[in-house]
A and B are shown apart, each in its own frame.
Chain A
Amino acid sequence: AQKVTQAQTEISVVEKEDVTLDCVYETRDTTYYLFWYKQPPSGELVFLIRRNSFDEQNEISGRYSWNFQKSTSSFNFTITASQVVDSAVYFCALTTTSGTYKYIFGTGTRLKVLA
């Protein structure tokens, strides 16, 4: 079975705090891809990052960083020095080489950054 779990339903932080959004996935496939998308109140999902199962390097992009650990099946997302504009719902997603490459989304984490 393939599954993505985002256990944090909602997180509130004060501006400039660091925050980590957790993502745990399950798959038996050896080749798979993990994604993070941001959904602001305007509605569209915005692509943030893709990682394949063979690349465990962590990545940093500005205030955003991602920690991919196959040993714990986790792909966590950290925002450093959060800003009000970071307020959104964040989805982690998985796609694999079996079947039809459909995205399996987590249930999302709503992040509220308070000024």
Chain B
Amino acid sequence: DTEVTQTPKHLVMGMTNKKSLKCEQHMGHRAMYWYKQKAKKPPELMFVYSYEKLSINESVPSRFSPECPNSSLLNLHLHALQPEDSALYLCASSQGEGWESYTFGSGTRLTVV
């Protein structure tokens, strides 16, 4: 299995809702990432988990809460989002941090209304 699977593919949520994005990989990768991508922009790093521990938080607002329950799974919990948070949320994984290539999922297209 050489894929990163993200669910759901599309999500529409209100500003008072609580929802979660899910990411799964079974490649034995030890680093997992959340990126946010706005239209016509490059991906922006949000969080990095290395060996199931949060190693990088790019000063992301607390309305985004990451979780890594095990080495294969990464969640992003969303609460009280703003319309400007609407974006493509990409999950990625790599063997470890650093210079390796990433395997990306196809993303969750989030719309906040």
Are A and B part of the same complex?
Answer: yes
Taking Cβ atoms with an 8 Å cutoff, the residues of A that contact B are: 33, 35, 37, 42-47, 50, 52, 91, 95, 100-103, 105-108
List chain A residues, Cβ under 8 A from B101: 35, 47, 50
User: Are A107 and B90 touching (Cβ within 8 A)?
Assistant: no
List chain A residues, Cβ under 8 A from B15: none
Interface residues on B, range: 20 to 34
Closest 7 CB pairs of A and B: A105-B42, A101-B98, A44-B106, A43-B107, A47-B101, A45-B104, A33-B99
Interface residue from A43, A47, A52, A103 paired with B106 (Cβ < 8 Å): A43
* A22, B88: Cα distance in complex, Å: 25
What are 10 contact pairs spanning A and B, CB under 8 A?
Answer: A43-B90, A43-B107, A44-B107, A45-B43, A46-B104, A47-B103, A52-B99, A102-B45, A105-B43, A106-B42
